[in-house]
Amino acid sequence: MTSICHMFSVYVLLSLTNGCYYIGSTGDLPGRLVQHNSGGQQVDQIRSTVEGRPSRKI
């Protein structure tokens, strides 16, 4: 029997623009942080933090 284990992370972002916090979870933390802070096409995927860009992980 094969066991599959998926690793997920819970993270907190602090907006450097408005001082608001955002809590999220993901299976790809580096990629998700890029999505939160990127412009262009990926912004449509992350509407909840688009107003507070840039953000930093705390």
**Which pLDDT tens digit goes with each residue over 1-54?**
777 888 899 999 998 888 989 899 999 999 888 888 775 455 455 666 666 677
Tell whether 1 is covered by a domain: no
Domain count within the chain: 1
Between 12 and 58, residue with greater pLDDT = 12
In a domain, 35, yes or no: yes
The range of the structural domain enclosing residue 20 comes to 9-57
Kindly report the CA angle at 48 between 43 and 53, in degrees rounded to 5?
A: 60
4 within some domain:
no
Query: Which whole-number Å values give the CA distances from 57 to 5, 12, 44, 49, in the listed order?
Result: 25, 6, 20, 13
Residue 2 belongs to some domain of the structure: no
